[in-house]
Structure 1
């Protein structure tokens, strides 16, 4: 009987994982790393702008949106992730 032992990097490569500043994030290349200063992002005291709402990933509620200095993020699985524009940059209104 043989045992196959694979290095962790090979196992992660097989499941399409990406490594971010907070650890391993399963989900492929479109997965975003968490924002740099998550404590600075606060719940909104105004409506979510339409452009931000349109840029939210499927399944993310408007109630999950956070804002810091007119830059938008959302809460998912305990992380605060940036709302992305089509060009890949964070959605900011400045």
Structure 2
């Protein structure tokens, strides 16, 4: 019984870790392929303006908000990572 509980805990830890890191990795890939944050903003504005007229996605605004939220989290992770490296070297 202990082994099963330990396996379930490890599995939940893996799923939680993937739930955090996969969106961050996807946003970083999107940001890299669009040459920075400005490219991501332009893409979101274009997709939302096209969606306004065509109505091809029912949840376009929610998807844009999710991308923006992941972008803010990625930005905050980068800031804390840089500050940690600076503190370690001084």
Give TM-score, length-normalised by structure 1: 0.30
User: Structure 1 or 2: larger helix share?
Assistant: 2
- Select the structure of larger CA radius of gyration: 2
User: Structure 1 or 2: larger strand share?
Assistant: 1
